[in-house]
Amino acid sequence: MAMTTPPSFSATRPLQAWQVMLGGICGLVLTIGLARFAYTPLLPALQAQTGLNDAAAGGLAAINYAGYIVGALVTAWMDDVRWRHRFYSAGLWMALLTTAAMALSTWLPAWGLWRFLGGLCGATGMLLGSGLVLGWLIRQGRRPELGVLFIGLGLGIVVSALGAWVLSDIWTLWSDQWLAFAALGLVFFVPAWLWRPPVPPAPAAQVVAHAQPLVSKRWMRTMALSYFAAGWGFVISATFTVAIVEREPALAGQGALVWALVGLAAMPAVFLWDRVARRWGDIPALLLAFGLQTVSIVLPAMSGSLTAALAGALGYGATFIGIVSLTLALVGRRAPQNPGKAMARLTLSYGAAQMIAPVVAGAMAQATGNFKAALWLTAVVMLVGMALLASLPKDG
At 152-180, the pLDDT tens digits run: 888 888 888 888 878 777 888 888 999 99
The model's pLDDT over 307-332, given as tens digits with 9 standing for 90+, comes to 887 888 888 888 988 898 888 888 87
pLDDT > 80? residue 213:
no
Q: How far apart are CA 325 and CA 159, in angstroms?
A: 20
- The Cα 78–Cα 75 span in angstroms is 5
Most confident residue range from 41-55, 119-133, 324-338, 372-386:
372-386
Say what the pTM is.
0.74
Spatial separation of the C-alpha atoms in residues 293 and 320, rounded to whole Å:
7
- Residue 98 scores a pLDDT above 80: yes
pLDDT at site 1: 41
pLDDT tens string 335-357: 766 666 777 778 788 878 877 88
* Burial label, 206 (beta-carbon count in 10 A; 0-12, 13-18, 19+): exposed
The pLDDT value recorded for residue 336 is 65
pLDDT in the model for residue 127: 82
Mean pLDDT (the chain, rounded) = 82
What's the number of CA atoms in the CB half-sphere (13 Å) around residue 273? 37
Confidence grade of residue 383 (pLDDT, cut at 50, 70, 90): very high
Instruction: Catalogue all structural domains in the chain, each as residue range(s) with its CATH number.
Output: 16-193+219-390 (1.20.1250.20)
DSSP assignment, residue 199?
P
Split at pLDDT 50, 70, 90, the class of 101 is: very high
In the predicted structure, residue 71 carries a pLDDT above the cut 80? yes
d(CA 152, CA 340) in angstroms, rounded, equals: 17
Which own/partner contact pairs does 303-310 have at CB distance under 8 Å and 24+ positions apart? 304/248, 304/250, 304/251, 305/250, 306/250, 306/251, 306/254, 309/244, 309/245, 309/248, 309/251, 309/254, 309/258, 310/258, 310/261
Q: 372-390 and 339-368 helices cross at what angle (nearest 10)?
A: 150
Interval 169-196 mean pLDDT: 90
Model confidence at 365, pLDDT cuts 50, 70, 90, reads confident
Measured CA to CA, the distance from residue 396 to residue 391 in angstroms comes to: 12
Q: What is the DSSP string of 112-143?
A: HHHHHHHHHHHHIIIIIIHHHHHHHHHHTT--
